[in-house]
Amino acid sequence: MQSVYPRLESLLPLVRKPIQYVGGELNSVVKDWDATDVRWALMYPDAYEVGAPNQGIQILYEVLNERDGVLAERTYSVWPDLEKLMREHQVPQFTVDGHRPVRAFDVLGVSFATELGYTNLLTALDLAQIPLDAAHRGEDDPVVLAGGHAAFNPEPIAEFIDGAVLGDGEQAVLAITEEIRAWKRAGRPGGRDGLLLRLAGQGGVYVPRFYDVSYAPDKTITSVVPNRPGVPRAVAKHTVTDLDSWPYPSKPIVPVAESVHERFSVEIFRGCTRGCRFCQAGMITRPVRERSITTIGEMTEAGLAASGFTEVGLLSLSSADHSEINQIAADLADRYEGTNTGLSLPSTRVDAFNITLANELSRNGRRSGLTFAPEGGTDRIRKVINKMVTEEDLIKTVSTAYANGWRQVKLYFMCGLPTETDEDVLAIARVAHRVIEAGRTASGRRDIRCTVSIGGFVPKPHTPFQWAAQTSHETVDARLKALGAAMRADRGYGSSIGFRYHDGKPSMVEGLLSRGDRRVAKVIRAVWGAGGRFDGWSEYFSFERWESCAAEALAADGVDLDWYTTRERAYGETLPWDHLDAGLDRDWLWQDWQAAVDPEGAAEVDDCRWTPCFECGVCPAMDTQIETGPTGARLLPLTVAGSGAVGSGTRSGG
Amino acid sequence: MARPVPTGPPPAPIVQRLVIRYAKRGRMRFASHRDVARAIERGVRKAGLPVAYSAGFSPHPRISYSGGAPTGSASEAEYLELSLTRSCEPADLGRSLDEALPDGIDVVEVVEAGAKSAGLALEASEWEVTWPGVPADAAARSVEAFLAAPSVEVERLTSKGMRRLDARAAVVSLAVDRRAGTDQAAGCAILRMIVRQMTPAVRPDDILAALSQLSALAPASPPLATRLWQGPLNGLAEAAGQAASTRPGHGPSDRPGRDIDKAMRLQAVSAEAAPVGQARANDQLPRGAQDHLDGSRAREPHERDCPDARDRATESAVRSQ
């Protein structure tokens, strides 16, 4: 397959940061095209700097490329400056590995971490010369598959994709590969339709075209039913168990361009059962499956040796919750003592942070900022969202951090949560002031800082808040404005407190795309046609464009932006994703939603890792169980190759 | 309250300093200097080299870089100095570092820095610039006008806004390289120039902008500049005198590169230093010759850089993938 690089090369001096388009990173792979029979283009629909470090893409890239006869290359969204030149010079969407045209691959797999990447999908399809409508694609076009968290409701992009894969991708991509290979070897029976039928039947893929959606006079969905025999009524998510047998990435991509995460990340567990009611990730990735300390040690060793990174991120939805986190942090700190290797936990729960962990994390590297996410300003609202952390917990935790040498603490909050009042948001200013006071007392210094970041809440599918009314952007913006004023009101804190916020408008669009149905595709198409690109980037995002396109495109259907966002749903309403099965019992979700908004005060739900099962439904539905330690194992010291050098061992397990 | 000081032992002392010449080739020419520096720091760690670290709360590896070639320009002659806590054989170190770097950021030569660490006398660079779509005759007329002018001001957009600079002041020599007759047929001029290091820096792009300005040239696509050498000004000036006398039809053995090679040795270079790490073939942009230090001088730039020739070369390489 011909490389488009010679044609691309003369365009690169004319664009910003051309290095992002050339590939050639350490651990990237260019396989012989003709020696393979199933070929995947893996896309992260955002800029390279965001997409390149993405764990999901890196894992699948390695899992696929390890197989004989299978090839995987990566492609990312090109910025508008290059898009314009590619159109002028007829350069198609390309992969950065072999610079092969995306249209030449068998599969284009797109990982959607956020719905704001949908317009970028259309740009990529169009640049690739793949018809936007799945129905118009021919035998030579790739099968376009969506994955990632947003794939748990792919209905708004149903007409643009051929299929969606729910849940963990490691085994799913291999199963799909086998189906494609078998179909090709059998002489492509049934053509494209035949392949999609196979994928829907045995491949575990949701193929939207095999489901008919009908609507009631009140504009809600009446039913979603299969229109082909052999297609399941509901499509279940994929769950990988025993993460120790899937130790990827082991050869991480090392971008030459600057990227958002300059570190080697090890996923220390998958899933989370803390039960935060707003959190889609925590609901759709159940149950908790830990990697053992031994595998984490081996992956760290192999990943650092293969990359030269100076920082290891212990990744998960709530890393301090690993059953052996203190041991992991201590043993890794011992191993890398004196090597200038830093350890970090990207997300730490207020109540799981402790001083031992804090000191181990800072032993070999600098004390970078600590980040906690109380999410709500009052104990009351935190009960509503089931974030079981009190203000006293928070003050105690930050005092510990400041007393042990940290100078900067970041706090994340959300605005627009169900039942939220102005007071709940204004209380955040009081919390910030208390944090600074506590920090000054604990450290004996005045130069400590606290940064408050806050954004609008978006109700997500497959969560107890999937029925909730989203708070309008006018209300969110008014509350944020009042909060900013309250933060600045006491000059005694002046520069000690930083305040960052995202205004409420992008959240409305995210809300439309998150809980939208197939009718929303018209809006996405119209926005894209009007120039919508990179909607996750404030400099490109235009609320006015989304608002006017939504009004126009949805008028004939009798629905609008508010109908999809600020409208509360009833128990009986068929939700667009009800036929997509994350394993959660719908009645359990409803009870949890009712418990959240109980006027008597919200009832809290505990974590099933430490208390009896509360029957969310996932384990019996998916035939899985919680996989946690402790294992009691320890990491032995590495044989260090030289002073200041990281050991050069290779992975022994797996 | 007293300022906190880092705990733990002080960093290990420096026992050896190495000067590394490296190249930025093929698609890696699009790396910025910061990108290259990051890749090298990772390469140093990946290779397990005993690099020295600075003291303080956030120790960083002791690597100092000379001014890097601009983003988009290739280079055969970039330099850095690496401080080590353990003495290493330069050639071995060069080989293992080269293996730990992405293809296209290639170690060319490693030598021990002089005892006094005089630093690198990098006063000027020789550049070769391929200028697609510009006939050699037109380029030559423009070059003549440029050299005759006492100063030629150009504008460049920098992070601090539009800046004016005198492109002429930095140019020691400038000539159209007419050795390959086929270039004219392909409509692409090849320029050779020696440019003084100045503040603000004058880049090959600025000189081309000056040339375009003088006689309204319209390049078909952006130029490709390659830094061939850099070093002390007197060495380059001599080389330039020879370059000017070079005429079409001279074989590779007569080319000025051999002499520049000698003139351009780093002052502190030990005579025995051998090139290390067979530079790897560039998988995207194959060249006539795959090279180590001297090989890179012998390659025929014209075959590589003219669009037609490049298309042919790339096509054959890609088919084999």
Out of A57-71, A287-301, B55-69, pick the least confident.
Answer: B55-69
Q: How many residues in total does chain B contain?
A: 321
Three-state DSSP at A499 gives strand
Mean pLDDT for all residues in chain B: 74
A544 confidence band (pLDDT: 50, 70, 90):
very high
A365 close to A405: Cβ distance less than 8 angstroms = no
Is residue B258 scored above 70 in pLDDT? no
Residue B261 has pLDDT above 60, yes or no: no
Interior angle at CA A60, CA B314 and CA A62, nearest 5: 60
- Give the residue-averaged pLDDT of B163-178: 93
Q: How far is A110 from chain B (nearest CA, A)?
A: 25
How far is residue A515's CA from residue A513's CA, in Å, rounded to a whole number? 6
- How is B114-181 classified by DSSP, letter by letter? PTT-------EEEEEEEEET--HHHHHHHHHHHHHSS--EEEEEETTEEEEEEHHHHEEEEEE----H
| Average predicted confidence (pLDDT) for chain A | 94
Cα–Cα distance measured from residue A98 to residue A32, given in angstroms and rounded to the nearest whole number: 10
pLDDT 10s digits, A428-449: 999 999 999 999 999 999 999 9
Q: Calculate the alpha carbon distances from A72 to A1, A100, A179, A239, B246 in Å.
A: 14, 11, 16, 22, 50
Q: Does B277 touch chain A (CB under 8 A)?
A: no
Does the beta carbon of B315 lie under 8 angstroms from any beta carbon of chain A? Answer: yes
Closest to B39 (Cβ–Cβ): which among A256, A304, A340? Answer: A256
Going by C-beta distance under 8 Å and a sequence separation of 6 or more, which residues neighbour residue A76?
A: A20, A43, A44, A45, A46, A47, A48, A51, A52, A96
| Cβ contact, residue pair B284, A3, below 8 Å | yes
**Which of B28, B44, B48 faces A648 most closely, judged by CB atoms?**
B48
Structure tokens at B87: 């003495």
Task: Tell me the ipTM for this assembly.
Answer: 0.92
**Quick one: pLDDT band at residue A478, thresholds 50, 70, 90?**
very high
| Closest-CA distance of chain B to residue A572, Å | 55
Instruction: Look up residue A223 and give its amino acid.
Output: S
CA B296 remoteness from chain centre? 12
pLDDT at A202: 86
Which of B57, B226, B284, B305 to mutate to probe the A interface, most A CBs <10 Å? B284
Instruction: Pick the residue from chain A with its C-alpha nearest to B55.
Output: A340
Q: Is the Cβ pair B30, A21 closer than 8 Å?
A: yes
Between CA A631 and CA A463 the distance in angstroms is 32
Instruction: Dump pLDDT digits (tens) for A107-145.
Output: 999 999 999 999 999 999 999 999 999 999 999 999 999
Specify which residues B109 forms β-bridges with.
B21, B275
B74: nearest CA partner in chain A: A13
Between B176 and A345, name the one with better pLDDT. Answer: B176
CA dihedral sign of residues B88, B89, B92, B93: positive
Amino acid (one-letter) located at B297: R
Q: To the nearest 5 percent, what fractions of chain A are helix, strand and coil? A: 40, 15, 45
Selecting from B49, B71, B321 the residue whose C-beta is nearest the C-beta of A645 gives: B49
Q: Are A393 and A350 in contact (CB under 8 A)?
A: yes
| Interface membership of B57 toward A (CB under 8 Å) | yes
- Angstrom distance (rounded) from CA B182 to CA B130: 13
| DSSP letters for A308-367 | --SEEEEESSSGGGSTTHHHHHHHHHHHTTTTT-EEE-S-B-TTT--HHHHHHHHHSS--
The two most distant CA atoms of chain A are separated, in Å, by: 76
- Interface check for A260 against chain B (CB to CB < 8 A): the answer is no
Taking CA–CA distances from A22, the nearest residue in chain B reads: B27
> At B114, is the pLDDT very low, low, confident or very high (cuts 50, 70, 90)?
confident
Which residues in chain A have Cβ-Cβ distances shorter than 8 Å to B36? Answer: 256
DSSP state of B12: P
Residue B104 in tokens: 């296209």
Residues in chain B within 8 Å Cβ distance of A12: 30, 72
Angstrom distances, CA of residue B30 to CA of A12, A51, A134, B69, B169 = 8, 19, 36, 10, 27
Compute the count of residue pairs across chains A and B with CB atoms less than 8 Å apart: 133
Contacts of B141 (CB under 8 A, 6+ apart): B215
Closest CA–CA distance from residue B35 to any residue of chain A (Å):
6
Instruction: Check CB contact under 8 Å for B30 and A641.
Output: no
- How many residues would you count in chain A? 654
- How many CA atoms lie within 13 Å of A145's alpha carbon, on the beta-carbon side? 28
Q: Find, among A30, A61, A27, the residue nearest to A44 by Cα.
A: A61
Is the predicted pLDDT of residue A95 greater than 80, yes or no?
Answer: yes
- Residue B69 reports pLDDT greater than 80: yes
Residues of B in contact with A2 (CB under 8 A): 315, 318-319
Question: Three-state SS across B51-102?
Answer: ECECCCCCCCECEEECCCCCCCCEEEEEEEEEEECCCCCHHHHHHHHHHCCC
Distance of alpha carbon B205 from alpha carbon B127, whole angstroms = 11
Q: What is the pLDDT of residue B254?
A: 35
Greater pLDDT, A257 or A642: A257
Whether B174 contacts chain A with CB within 8 A? no
Query: Rounded to an integer, what distance in angstroms lies between the CA atom of residue A394 and that of residue A376?
Result: 12
Q: A90: how many CB neighbours lie within 10 A of its CB? A: 9
Ordered DSSP codes for B215-279: HT---SS--EEEEEEEE-HHHHHHHHHHHHH--TT--GGGSTHHHHHHHTS-TT--TT--B-S-P
CB contact under 8 A, B28 and A30: no
Q: How much is the pLDDT for B181?
A: 54
B219 in reach of chain A (CB within 8 A): no
CA-atom Rg of chain A in angstroms: 25
**Residue B167: φ, ψ to 5°:** -70, -30
Is a pLDDT exceeding 90 seen at residue A586? yes
Distance to chain B for A351, nearest Cα, Å: 28
- B253 and B162 in contact (C-beta within 8 Å)? no
What is the three-class DSSP state of B305? helix
Contact indicator for A92, A127 with CB cutoff of 8 Å: yes
Q: What is the mean pLDDT of residues A274-301?
A: 97
Binning pLDDT at 50, 70 and 90, where does residue B237 land? low
Indicate whether A367 pLDDT > 80: no
The pLDDT of residue A338 is 86
**Residues B309, B130: contact at Cβ < 8 Å?**
no
pLDDT bin (cut points 50, 70, 90) of residue A366 is low
Of A22-26, A369-373, B65-69, the poorest mean pLDDT is in A369-373
Q: Retrieve residue A421's tokens.
A: 């009042």
pLDDT higher than 50, residue B282: no
Chain A contact set for B53 (CB, 8 A) = 340, 644
Would you call A308 an interface residue with chain B, using a CB distance cutoff of 8 Å? yes
Q: In this structure, are residues B183 and B190 in contact, taking their beta carbons and an 8 Å threshold?
A: yes
Nearest CA in chain B to A306: B46
Reference A70, options A29, A110, A103, A99; nearest CA is A29
CA-closest candidate to residue A396, choices A433, A350, A362: A350
Chain B contact for A81 (CB, 8 A cutoff):
no
Q: Which residues contact B201 (CB under 8 A, 6 or more apart)?
A: B67
Which of B3, B30, B203 is the best mutation test for A, with the most CBs of A within 10 A? B30
* C-alpha to C-alpha distances, A458 to A470, A483, A507, A509, A572, nearest whole angstrom: 6, 19, 6, 9, 21
A401 near A409, Cβ under 8 Å? yes
Beta bridge partners of residue B163, listed in sequence order: B156
Per DSSP, which regions of A189-285 are E strands? Answer: 211-215, 221-226, 235-236, 264-267, 269-270
- Distance separating alpha carbons of residues A111 and A51, to the nearest angstrom: 9
Cα–Cα distances in angstroms (integers) from residue A500 to residues A316, A412, A438, A487, A580, in the given order: 24, 10, 21, 11, 36
Burial class (CB in 10 A: 0-12, 13-18, 19+), B226: buried
User: Whole-angstrom Cα distance, residue A595 to residue A461?
Assistant: 18
Q: B219 is written with which tokens?
A: 């390049």
Inter-chain touch B52–A30, beta carbons under 8 Å: no
Written as one string, the DSSP assignment of A392-438 is: HHHHHHHHHHHHTT--EEEEEEEES-TT--HHHHHHHHHHHHHHHHH
Please check the confidence at residue A345 and state whether its pLDDT lies above 90.
no
| pLDDT given at position A59 | 98
Q: Who's near A166: CB < 8 A, 6+ residues apart?
A: A151, A152, A206, A235, A236, A237, A238, A284, A580, A581, A582
Would the pLDDT of A194 be above 50? yes
In the block, which residue shows the tokens 């600025």?
A: B206
